[in-house]
Amino acid sequence: MKKTVKIGLFGFGCVGQGLYDILQNNTENTGFEAQILKICVKNKEKKREIDASYFTFDKDEILNNSEINLVVELISDAEEAYQIVKKALLSGKNVVTANKKMLALHLEELVRIQKETGTSLLYEAAVCGSIPIIRTLAEYYDNEFLYSVSGIFNGSSNYILSKISNENLSYDVALKQAQKLGFAEADPTLDVAGFDATYKLCLLATQAYGIFINPDEVLRIGINNLKKEDIDFAKNYSVKKENDQNTTNFKVKLVASISRIKSSENNQVLLYVLPVFVDAENPLYNVENENNAVLVEAAFSDKQTFIGKGAGGHPTGSAVLSDISALRFDYQYEYRKTDRNKEKNALGQTLISPTQNVEAEVYLRFENHLSKKELLQNIDFTEILTENENHIIGKIILSELFEKRDFIEKHHIFVALCGEVKAVN
């Protein structure tokens, strides 16, 4: 049954203003109505374009308002967002949020509260902006055997990589350009070090495989140690394909991935956020600038590619609007795969679990202050394929990279997947 949606909005930044604009224009175009009753913000001095009567500086003015039946949370502070969302759900209000860090850290608890209270927690806007991947996984793929979900989940890092590769810019110049355009923050660490993509990957792991993953369990290496020479190396990198032809001209993309590792029981998944050399046959090859992409590979529906704007007020606001619209009909994510995992656990059956016991071919470039001898004393390769004075291509167990992340970061080592990934017998 369709019901009237009365919104209490937290945050009026880029996405909050985008949502307000969309709601104002969408009513005229489609007849869809959702009323914003109050907007909670922090900065009392900031001048805003809409009437001051909309605004409050007290979160309880929204959370304790019985007329408001939907809280839309669009603030950047993950801990504050958690407190708001938790209290809203416990008080019987539905919630729409775009805060991927907050969700990645607290999703299991919030899903439990949703089920206990009969409320709804929706977060399409938390992953890949305007790409409708959360509901697609929750509904279309709810009974599919998924091989993998992967892609470009962060527009800021993809913009930087595109500018270096296509326009010959240095990393620093490309980063400053991304900051000027609003794609990257003044402190870009969340984006370029892979944190943002990791949070999103954790949310997709729940929808795709029914498992709750702590972000700290994910192998995460970003592009913050990248130099233009790494892009140039990838362009000239050559790989022998099955048809006996050499493939060259790779691009570097920051890829987030969760995939089943082939085993007798198909119960292990590998999660990572890593730079990857991709060739022209890969759908990610031509995904440029701030665009995001999600690749889904399944047993029956085969391979699907979703591409769209991953950031910005209107693209992300459109995903928030989709959730608001769904709540007119009391829509919920049902977490069927999570429930099936619980049933298996009760029966003592083998559950899906993360693993890093996987061998991968990697490119590793290091600075002059670090000798090759010192590098090899600290990072254990299973096989060295090629090497010179400042880079190594070799095979490594990914758990080794996970364990040596601090060493890699301390010495500004750039790491990228450049070949086959396979399970260790």
C-alpha 168/C-alpha 161 separation (Å) is: 10
Token couple for 357: 């016991």
Residues 6+ apart with CB under 8 A from 105: 78, 82, 214, 215
Marked catalytic residue, from 100, 200, 309, 337: 200
- The closest of 55, 45, 44 to 17, measured between CA atoms, is 55
Q: How far is CA 6 from CA 70, 120, 326, 327, 328, in A?
A: 6, 15, 14, 11, 10
Extended beta strands in 310-413, E state: 353-354, 358-365, 383-387, 391-397
Backbone angles phi and psi of 253, in degrees to 5: -130, 145
Token couple for 380: 């254990």
Extended beta strands in 332-381, E state: 353-354, 358-365
Q: Identify the residue whose tokens are 């509260």.
A: 113
Conformational region of residue 114, where left means phi above 0, alpha means psi within -120 to 50, and beta covers everything else: alpha
Question: CA 161, 164, 167, 172: dihedral to nearest 10 degrees?
Answer: 120
**Residue 158 · residue 289 · CB < 8 Å:** yes
Q: What count of other Cβ atoms lies within 10 Å of the Cβ of residue 38?
A: 20
Instruction: State yes or no: is 227 an active-site residue.
Output: no
Q: Which amino acid is at 19?
A: L
As annotated, the active-site residues are 200
